[in-house]
Amino acid sequence: MGQRRALPEDRMLVEQLRLQLGNIGSSVIPTLVVAAVLVGVLHNEANELALSAWCAAIVIFKLFLAWDARRLLASTIDPADARRLLWRKVGLNLVDGVAWGALAWAALGSTTVAGSVLVVAVLAGVAGSSMSSLAPIFPAFVAFGVAELLLLSSKLWQMDDPAYKTLAGASVLYMVALLGQARNGSRAARRAIALGFENLDLVERLRVETDHAQEAQRVADEANLAKSRFLAAASHDLRQPIHAQGLFLEVLARSRLSPEQADALANARATWQASAEMLDTLLDFSRLEAGVVEPQWQVFALQPLFNKIENELAPQADAKGIVYRSRETHAVVHADPALVGLILRNLVSNAIRYTEQGGVLVACRMHGEEAVLEVWDTGVGIDPSQHREIFREFHQLGNAERDRRKGLGLGLAIAQGLARALGQELTLASVPGRGSVFRFKLPLQRGGVVIEDGSGRDATSARASFDARVLVIDDDETIRTGMRQLLRAWGCECDVADSIEEAQALARVHRPDMVIIDYRLREQRSGAGAAAALRAEFGDDLPMLLITGDTAPQRLREARATGVPLLHKPVLPAQLHRAMTALLQGRELDSTFAWLRSADGERVEAP
């Protein structure tokens, strides 16, 4: 760093004066109160006239100082007048110090010992408080402090009591200490003023640099727009021959070919497919860059979209030997289903591409008036330093050789752009080596929890009905509503509770045939506690099922220790139906009901 530039002294004095003048207003009321109290406590026949005159002088002079400070602050102080005003300020504070010191001569010797102690204490306190308010102008404090404390010490020394003479010496030492502290305060004030001027200079330089940066940004934006137009045009012009190529390849595929020709054709078709996918990606990106993506808002259920994406992309996960799951949801949202589908496809494709073991999970959580869509994977993870970069176009992790089988590096940029087109933001949480989760929010449609229809892959109409009363304990209102509707669709009588106490009360009125409990409840309570309380009252043979969204190994081990079968969120309706059927028939659950890997890689299974 360079050396700090010295400021002109007059410029520095102006700021010191303004800083000190600004401190005067806050001392007016305390001064008036102290003066009145002292007169009320100390006056007697011997000193009544002297104290009254002292009080009048203090009040009048303090009001004058406040008026004078306000007047100067309201005007512009010319640096050329700074030194004259400085010495004027020193003179005024000398008078103020003499006025306060006169209290010792007006009261000491004519009041009680307690009154004398009060006088000494007040004058010492006034000197101390003035040190902080006058510190910006050190000569002004010297004038005030020396005048006040010298008058006090001289009066104390004049009195015949040795104790007062000792106080006189202590007053001199106190004055010396205050002068040292005031000098340090004055230096600190000057440094602060100098730093303030440097900051102003820095702000000005930053403003100039910002203007230059904005101009450079404008040029870059124009270049980026030209690039986007080129990509859009190139994408359009290349689609025609690529489309024709695909037609010819399909014709060849229907011809009689030798094994070598068939193998060559398969490679050609794979290359054509990759080219077509790249063009589709470029087209999506170009549309975003051009700002022509306009959401077509409508109300739709998420589950059919989840099912469609799973049908499309699950085979890719199967080919890599990883698990693909989508959590069943009853959420109904207000958005553009086409854009939401594109976002999810890009996120899921990206997750499958970078996951070599474990799995990919697509889920939806309710959060207030919003649905939070999440795509989880157990892939390579992303270093925090790359969290911003991966949303940049053509940026890829682990593809320095630009292998086009790994895509163009546009998927996340497109997903982010589409999310912003919907007025949302795509967020990322990731741990290198452990996996990632991408999230974006959509507005829920009011009353958007719906009963599953018969068209879904897990349609409730295809399931056997139950003749049972089920008690559900969950602190999430949306889940309680969804569970009640689902279980009633299965023929169950369903009671729902959000706490252990409410569940016990409902169970006493209608004894349940089965209890389904969320593991994490409000107030740091757990499903294990709820299970223990209900078993203590209704017996150990009451069928129970725990459901957990926790993946922490310790929490999962705690859940398993209860001996209650455990399902992991998200639970598909088919999975829940099979679990309920087994428990109500008195059968045990096997480990197929618990797909999930905990953070330390341990396989978590139902007991």
The 8 Å CB, 24+ separation contacts for 336-340 are 336/295, 336/296, 336/297, 336/298, 336/422, 337/298, 337/300, 337/305, 338/296, 339/293, 339/295, 339/418, 339/421, 339/422, 340/302, 340/305, 340/373, 340/422, 340/442
Does residue 596 or residue 581 have the better pLDDT?
581
Per-residue confidence (pLDDT) for residue 514, from 0 to 100? 92
**Average pLDDT for 324-343:** 88
293 confidence band (pLDDT: 50, 70, 90)? low
Is the pLDDT confidence value at 471 over 90?
yes
Per-residue confidence (pLDDT) for residue 521, from 0 to 100? 85
495 confidence band (pLDDT: 50, 70, 90)? very high
Per-residue confidence (pLDDT) for residue 177, from 0 to 100? 81
Is the pLDDT confidence value at 520 over 70?
yes
Does residue 209 or residue 226 have the better pLDDT?
209
Does residue 255 or residue 281 have the better pLDDT?
255
Per-residue confidence (pLDDT) for residue 571, from 0 to 100? 62
How is residue 137 annotated by DSSP?
S
**Average pLDDT for 260-284:** 67
Per-residue confidence (pLDDT) for residue 309, from 0 to 100? 86
Per-residue confidence (pLDDT) for residue 446, from 0 to 100? 63
Nearest to 237 by CA among 294, 174, 282, 183: 282
Torsion of CA 195, 201, 204, 209, to 10 degrees: -100
Q: Output the CA torsion sign for 465, 471, 476, 478.
A: positive
d(C-alpha 21, C-alpha 134), whole Å: 9
Per-residue confidence (pLDDT) for residue 206, from 0 to 100? 82
Does residue 288 or residue 419 have the better pLDDT?
419
Is the pLDDT confidence value at 234 over 70?
no
CA 232 to chain centre: 37
Does residue 12 or residue 286 have the better pLDDT?
12
**Average pLDDT for 45-73:** 84
Nearest to 130 by CA among 105, 122, 70, 16: 122
Per-residue confidence (pLDDT) for residue 477, from 0 to 100? 79
376 confidence band (pLDDT: 50, 70, 90)? very high
**Average pLDDT for 255-281:** 71
Beta bridge partners of 335: 298
Does residue 252 or residue 566 have the better pLDDT?
566
Per-residue confidence (pLDDT) for residue 602, from 0 to 100? 31
Pairing label, strands 370-377, 514-518: unpaired
The two tokens of residue 397 are: 């992790």
Per-residue confidence (pLDDT) for residue 506, from 0 to 100? 92
Is the pLDDT confidence value at 601 over 50?
no
d(C-alpha 33, C-alpha 59), whole Å: 10
d(C-alpha 123, C-alpha 147), whole Å: 11
Q: Which DSSP helix (H) or strand (E) runs through 545?
A: strand 544-548
Is the pLDDT confidence value at 39 over 60?
yes
Mean pLDDT estimate for the chain: 76
- Please calculate the CA angle 211-214-216 and round it to the nearest 5 degrees: 110
Residues of 10-37 as b/e, b for ≥16 C-beta within 10 angstroms?
Answer: eebbbbbbebbbeebeebbeebeebbee
* Residue 455, φ and ψ in degrees, nearest 5: -90, -15
Is the pLDDT confidence value at 103 over 70?
yes
442 confidence band (pLDDT: 50, 70, 90)? very high
Q: What is the pLDDT of residues 308-332, one digit of tens each?
A: 888 888 888 998 899 999 889 988 9
CA 607 to chain centre: 39
Q: What is the pLDDT of residues 355-367, one digit of tens each?
A: 888 999 999 998 8
Per-residue confidence (pLDDT) for residue 593, from 0 to 100? 40
**Average pLDDT for 565-578:** 72
Classified as helix, coil or strand, 55 is helix
Give the CATH number of domain 298-443; options: 3.20.20.70, 3.30.565.10, 2.30.30.90, 3.30.1360.10. 3.30.565.10
Per-residue confidence (pLDDT) for residue 363, from 0 to 100? 92
Per-residue confidence (pLDDT) for residue 454, from 0 to 100? 37
Q: Is the Cβ–Cβ distance between 284 and 414 less than 8 Å?
A: yes
Could you tell me the fold of the domain covering 460-593? Rossmann fold (3.40.50)
Per-residue confidence (pLDDT) for residue 55, from 0 to 100? 86
Q: What is the pLDDT of residues 389-406, one digit of tens each?
A: 666 654 455 444 334 444
Cα–Cα distance list, 164 to 119, 177, 432 (Å) = 12, 20, 76
d(C-alpha 104, C-alpha 84), whole Å: 32
Does residue 303 or residue 134 have the better pLDDT?
303
**Average pLDDT for 285-290:** 55
**Average pLDDT for 53-81:** 82
* Residue 453, φ and ψ in degrees, nearest 5: -95, 175
Is the pLDDT confidence value at 36 over 70?
yes
Does residue 102 or residue 505 have the better pLDDT?
505
Per-residue confidence (pLDDT) for residue 172, from 0 to 100? 81
Nearest to 394 by CA among 415, 379, 413, 416: 413
